[in-house]
Amino acid sequence: MELVVLTYDRFFDQEFEIVHQMLENGLNTLHLRKPEYSVDETSEYLEKVDAKYHDRIVLHQYAELTSSFNVKGIHLNRRLTWEDYLEVSNKANLQLSASCHSLSEIKQVYDLCNDINYVFLSPIFDSISKQDYKSKFDLNEISLAGYESRNIYALGGVTESNLLTCAQIGFDGVAVLGSIWKSDSPLASFKEIKQQCQQYEKTY
C-alpha cells in the first residue's frame, strides 16, 4: 500500500525537522494542509523545505504556487477547487487528488475528471486528530469491488494497528495524520507504518 502523510493543520513544534526526517526516510508524498495559512505563509513553508523534496509535496490550497515551486500535485477541496485546477492543469506531471466521503462520491469525482491519480475515502476509522469525527462506514460491509481501476486511500484514524484491515478491504494506500503528529515519536511511528505498508498488497 502507498503511504501519504498529511501535515498537522497548525504549526507543530520541530515540524520541519520531522518533515525532513520522514522525507529522508522514504516518504514519497506529503500533503501540505494548513487551512489557516495565507498564500505567503504557505510559500514560506515550502521555502523551508529542501527544494529537492518539493516534488513530493501536494498542495491543499493556493494552486498558483505551482508556478513558483516544483510540487508534486494539488488536492481538490473547498479551498482549492476544480476551477483552480483548470488554471494550472497545463503544468507537466502535476498530480491531482481529491477527498471523498462515500463510494458514490468517488464515482462522481472520476466522472468529473478521469485523470485523478487517487482519492481519499474518509473517515474509515474514528479520527485521531478531530474529536467527535466518527467513522460512518461499516467495516464488515464496505467493499471496493468494482473500483479496481481507481486508486483509493483510507483516511481517518489509520494507525499501525488497523493497516491490515485497510489492506483486507482493498485500499491502494493510506493517508495518516493523527497517528504521526499525536505520537510521542512521530518519526518512529512513520517508520513503523511505512514498513507495514510495504508488506501489504491489495487482496481483491
The residue ranges of every structural domain in the chain are: 2-199
Q: Does 186 sit behind a cis peptide bond, omega within 30 degrees of 0 on the bond before it?
A: no
Give the span between the Cα atoms of 147 and 161, in whole angstroms.
25
pLDDT at 92: 65
Residue from 188, 187, 103, 179 nearest 146 by CA: 103
Dihedral angle, C-alpha 96, 101, 104, 107, nearest 10 °: 0
Instruction: Tell me the pairing of strands 73-76 and 57-59.
Output: parallel
Residue 85 CA to residue 54 CA, distance in Å, equals 18
Which residues, 6+ apart, have CB-to-CB distance to 52 below 8 Å?
A: none
pLDDT, position 202: 58
Q: Helix (H, G, I), strand (E, B), or coil: what is residue 93? A: coil
Query: Are the CB atoms for 173 and 197 separated by under 8 Å?
Result: yes
Rounded Cα–Cα distance for residues 166 and 172 (Å): 9
pLDDT at 204: 47
Report the amino acid identity of residue 159.
Answer: T
Cα–Cα distances (Å) from 159 to 127, 128, 177, in that order, read: 10, 9, 9
pLDDT in tens, 86-108: 888 777 689 999 999 999 999 88
170 sits in the region (left: phi over 0; alpha: psi -120 to 50; else beta) called left
**pLDDT tens-place values along the chain, 204 residues long:** 999 999 999 888 899 999 999 999 999 999 999 999 999 999 999 999 999 999 999 999 999 999 999 999 999 988 888 888 888 877 768 999 999 999 999 988 988 888 899 999 999 998 887 777 788 888 888 888 788 778 999 999 999 999 999 999 999 999 999 999 999 999 999 999 999 999 987 544
36, HSE (Cβ side, Cα atoms, 13 Å): 4
> Any idea which residue has 469491488 for its cell?
145
Distance (Å, whole) CA 126 – CA 20: 28
In this structure, which topology does domain 2-199 adopt according to CATH?
Answer: TIM Barrel (3.20.20)
